[in-house]
C-alpha cells in the first residue's frame, strides 16, 4: 500500500534557526508529493507541491522541499524560522497515481522558542 511517513512527531527549534522536517514515501512510481501546514484553529494550507521536473520546489512563506528518489524522501526546509511558523506540518501524496484522495503522514508539530 502507498504510504507517507513522518518520523518526527515533535520538533523544537529556536527562532532564526534553520529547519528540516522529514517525509518519506513508499510508491512504485514517481509520486506527487505535498506539504501542508495546519495552524491552531485553522484549516490545512498548501505550502508546496511536487509533480515532476525540478526536484527542488519553492513554496509559500519561504519554505522549500527537495524530492530525492534515491532516499524516497521529500523533506521540507526553511533557512530561518519565525515564531509564526509554529504549527503542525503534514506531508501527503495521492492514494494512487492520478487519484484525488490524499494519504497523509501523521504530522510533525513544530515549536519555536525565542
Q: Check residue 9 for interaction with other proteins (CB under 8 A).
A: yes
Q: What is the DSSP letter of 55?
A: S
Closest C-alpha among 102, 78, 105 to residue 89: 105
- Applying CB under 8 A, which of residues 1, 28, 29, 41 lies at the interface with other proteins? 41
For the segment 80-109, give every residue that binds other proteins (CB under 8 A).
Answer: 90, 92, 95, 98, 100-107
Residue 49: burial class (beta carbons within 10 Å; 0-12, 13-18, 19+): middle
List of residues contacting other proteins (CB under 8 A): 4, 6, 9, 32, 34, 36, 41-46, 49, 51, 90, 92, 95, 98, 100-107
Amino acid at each position: 500500500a502507498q504510504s507517507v511517513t513522518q518520523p518526527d512527531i515533535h520538533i523544537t527549534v529556536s527562532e532564526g534557526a534553520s529547519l528540516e522536517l522529514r517525509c518519506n514515501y513508499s510508491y512504485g512510481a514517481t509520486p506527487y508529493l505535498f506539504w501542508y501546514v495546519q495552524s491552531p484553529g485553522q484549516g490545512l494550507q498548501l505550502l508546496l507541491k511536487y509533480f515532476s521536473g525540478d526536484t527542488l520546489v519553492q513554496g509559500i512563506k519561504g519554505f522549500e522541499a527537495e524530492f530525492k528518489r534515491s532516499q524516497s524522501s521529500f523533506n521540507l526546509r526553511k533557512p530561518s524560522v519565525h515564531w509564526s511558523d509554529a504549527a503542525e506540518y503534514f506531508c501527503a501524496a495521492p492514494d494512487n497515481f492520478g487519484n484525488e484522495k490524499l494519504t497523509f503522514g501523521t504530522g510533525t508539530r513544530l515549536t519555536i522558542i525565542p
